[in-house]
Structure 1
Amino acid sequence: MQNVAPFAFPQRVGLLVPGSNTTVEAEMNRAGLPGASFHAARMTLPLGLTGEELATKLRENAAVPLQHLSACQLDLVMLGCTSAAMALGPERSLGMVAAAQAKGGLEVGGAIVAALRALQLGRIALFTPYLDTTNAAVIAYLAAAGIETTASLGLGLNTSLERFRVVSRTGSEALAAHLEGLDHAGADGVLICCTDLPTIAALPGLEARIGKPVVSSNQAMLWAIARALGQRPDRAGGRLFAEA
Structure 2
Amino acid sequence: MQSNHATFAGPEAQSGIGVVCPFDMALDRELWRWMPADVSLFFTRTPFFDEPVSLEMAEDVSDDGDILAAVRNLSAVRPAVMAYACTSGSFVNGVSGARHISKIMATESDAQAVSTSEALLEALGHLGASKVVVITPYVADLTLRLGDFLAEAGHSVVSLAGLGLDGGIWEVPYQTTADLIRAADVPEADVIFISCTNLPTYDIIARLERELGKPVLSANQVTAWASLRRLGKAAVGPGQRLLT
Question: What is the TM-score with the length of structure 2 in the denominator?
Answer: 0.86
Q: Residue 226 of structure 1 is aligned with which of 228, 239, 242?
A: 228
Q: State yes or no: 1:64 paired with 2:69.
A: yes
Contact 2:22 2:61 in 1 (8 A): no
Q: Residue 124 of structure 2 is aligned with which of 110, 116, 126?
A: 116
User: C-alpha distance in 1, partners of 2:220/2:124?
Assistant: 13
Relative to structure 1, is the Cα distance of residues 211 and 37 closer, same or farther in structure 2, using a 3 angstrom cutoff?
same
Residue 210 of structure 1: CA displacement?
1.7
In structure 2, runs of 5+ residues without a counterpart are 1-6
Contact 2:36 2:235 in 1 (8 A): yes
Query: Which is higher, the Rg of structure 1 or of structure 2?
Result: 2
Q: Which amino acid aligns with 2:161?
A: L
Q: State yes or no: 1:86 paired with 2:91.
A: yes
Question: What is the TM-score with the length of structure 1 in the denominator?
Answer: 0.86
Q: Tell me which moved more, 63-72 or 107-116.
A: 63-72
Name the % identity: 24
User: C-alpha distance in 2, partners of 1:64/1:26?
Assistant: 23
User: C-alpha distance in 2, partners of 1:193/1:235?
Assistant: 18
After superposition, what is the alpha-carbon deviation per residue over 1:125-178, rounded to whole angstroms, capped at 9, x for unaligned? 1100011111121111111111110111111112xxxxx22x213333332122
Count of residues in correspondence between the two structures: 233
- 1:29-178 to structure 2, matched below 5 A, reads 29-44=32-47, 46-50=51-55, 54=59, 58-88=63-93, 89-98=97-106, 100-158=108-166, 164-165=167-168, 167-178=169-180
Residue 54 of structure 1: CA displacement?
0.9
1:204 aligns with 206
